Amino acid sequence: MAELGKAHDADKVIDGAGCVAIPGLVNCHTHAAMTLLRGYGDDMALRDWLAGRIWPAEAKLTRDDVYWGTRLACLEMVKTGTTAFADMYFFGPVMADAANDSGLRAVVCEGFIDLGSDERREANIKSTEETTRHVRCMRGGRVHASVGPHAVYTVSEKGWQWLCEHAKEHDLLVHTHLSETAQEVSDCRAAHGVSPPGLLDRLGVLDRRVLAAHCAHLSAEDIALMGRRRVAACHNPVSNMKLGGAGVMPWAELSAAGAPCVLGTDGAASNNTLDMFETMKSAALLQKFSGDPTRLPARDALEAATARGAAALGLPGGRIAEGQVADVVLVDLGRAGMQPVHDVVSNLVYAGAGRAVVATVCAGKVLMEGGAVPDEREVVKRASAAAMDLVRRREDAAAAAAGAKG
Ligand SMILES: [Zn+2]
């Protein structure tokens, strides 16, 4: 080992005996700080969950909450082999700092939700500009800005147009939610006479680099359009199943049309983990459940979670080769659940490899070794305290409002 280090002029040598080295995984859609709301309302109808739990809690979020929630998410990603992620949430500069302090690569955007209000649009424009400026001034080169129009039903045409201009001016990725539910599609058709992808095309959004999360309710016409425009379609199988969206992203059809298909966890409130190994498996199973077990084979899932994911985010990584960035994960093949190894890719995708990650390296920096992350205890403690305090503030406000009514 020591000789190997010397021969390659290495600062550090990690003994990877019995492990397989794979490129760091890429989570193409999450809301990292939602780790604070993990388990705060499960098994509920989407509308009740959002209106009764998530939105009231989010209304109480502080910058500190977002920082520690994002740090907790990054810690979980490091522990389960993810080295890059696309994040959409609130307090963009804080999200960027937390990702940077964790040592990961990230493409962050402030969620843009104007609901047709001029006042909200101005506030959203200000915070998007602030995020772009903040990220541009950061050192390290691992964190990048994007723009985050939440969805066709929450952003006005004026909002989309401003975001398109801003993305064009600064060459930013457009990260959005698209055709997540049947209701979104029928409402969009009723209001605009076209489907959500059709509307984005009409607004000129698809001229930009677009990352669209969910894509669970698409027509043949939508699929052809997204293929032509090379829209990256991010499948979030666990979140879709958990929230009962009753639609499955047409992976094979989008791929055949030319749209790169990638993978994401969505936020921890609707998943409830950020383990991309679990997402690879769930994606493959959900595609096969239609009755065709040849759909989304393990190798395609691994490619989507590595090289294709990195390319969709405009990041380096996703391959282990000379000249590539050092984003590498070691998975212990000696564990009971990982033996025997007839096919290493099969074990990685189907045998729960997230639990077997022992080392994570991002941009040449060792973030975890021997299963240990140096500041793990501190991050867990600070984030858990922030989560409990957030929920208490939200419940105190609800009790005060009920008291005022009574
Ligand atoms: Zn989402």
Model pLDDT for residues 51-108, shown as the tens digit of each residue: 899 999 999 999 999 999 999 999 999 999 999 999 999 999 999 999 999 999 999 9
Compute, in angstroms, the gap from residue 239 CA to the centroid of ligand 1.
8
Compute, in angstroms, the gap from residue 30 CA to the centroid of ligand 1.
6
Strand order, beta sheet including 173-178: 25-30, 82-89, 105-112, 143-149, 173-178, 210-214, 232-235, 261-263
More confident residue, 9 or 291: 291
Q: Is the pLDDT of residue 194 over 90?
A: yes
Compute, in angstroms, the gap from residue 148 CA to the centroid of ligand 1.
11
Q: What is the mean pLDDT of residues 28-52?
A: 93
Compute, in angstroms, the gap from residue 87 CA to the centroid of ligand 1.
9
Band (pLDDT 50/70/90 cuts) for residue 398 is confident
Question: How many angstroms separate the CA atoms of 273 and 266, rounded?
Answer: 9
* C-alpha torsion angle, residues 36, 40, 42, 46 (rounded to 10): -80
Compute, in angstroms, the gap from residue 208 CA to the centroid of ligand 1.
20
Compute, in angstroms, the gap from residue 398 CA to the centroid of ligand 1.
26
Compute, in angstroms, the gap from residue 178 CA to the centroid of ligand 1.
10
Quote the pLDDT of residue 140. 84
Compute, in angstroms, the gap from residue 222 CA to the centroid of ligand 1.
20
Quote the pLDDT of residue 10. 82
Band (pLDDT 50/70/90 cuts) for residue 2 is low
Quote the pLDDT of residue 5. 67
Compute, in angstroms, the gap from residue 32 CA to the centroid of ligand 1.
10
CA dist list (Å): 332 to 81, 137, 339, 366, 388: 12, 38, 10, 16, 34
More confident residue, 385 or 399: 385
Spell out which residues have Cβ within 5 A of ligand 1, the ion: 266
Compute, in angstroms, the gap from residue 17 CA to the centroid of ligand 1.
38
What value does the mean pLDDT of the chain take? Answer: 95
Compute, in angstroms, the gap from residue 233 CA to the centroid of ligand 1.
13
Q: What is the mean pLDDT of residues 204-223?
A: 98
